[in-house]
Amino acid sequence: MKILVINGPNLNLLGQREPGVYGADSLDAILARLTALAIDLGVQLDTFQSNHEGALIDRLHAAMGEVDGVLINPGAYTHTSIALRDAFLATRLPFVEVHLSNVYAREAFRHKSLLADIARGQVMGFGPDSYMLGLRGLVDGLRRAR
């Protein structure tokens, strides 16, 4: 089984950006932990990060027929990107949305996800463990569906 992990805008600055909100771990450190978990689960990971909406969409299109599912932290595009939503609908790739912080404990404009109703699930508020929990949920769900 192969899972694509997508990280959206500003996540390349984890560890430096607002550590009180997002924690002290870098994206590389989170992905290293996630890769170790993937090995334990017997799945392969492909990772991608971009600050550009079109690049995220292009990567999703390229993933069709290549991956079994997607774990995504869309960053701010969670709340703004109809195009990213449409890409998930077009590709029909099953996905789980993750966030380091609890978006519902933050500003009101962060309370709406344009992806939530088409995602297999959401995990948020557990810092880097949101990624681990999201990967476990996605992999377990895909295995059950087989």
- Could you give the residue numbers annotated as active site? 22, 99
Gap between the Cα atoms of 109 and 78, Å rounded: 11
Cα–Cα distances in angstroms (integers) from residue 15 to residues 10, 20, 51, 72, 124, in the given order: 11, 10, 16, 19, 18
Q: Which residues pair with 96 in a beta bridge?
A: 71, 121
Burial class (CB in 10 A: 0-12, 13-18, 19+), 87: buried
Gap between the Cα atoms of 94 and 69, Å rounded: 5
Q: Which residues have CB under 8 Å from 41's CB, separation 6+? A: 135, 136, 139
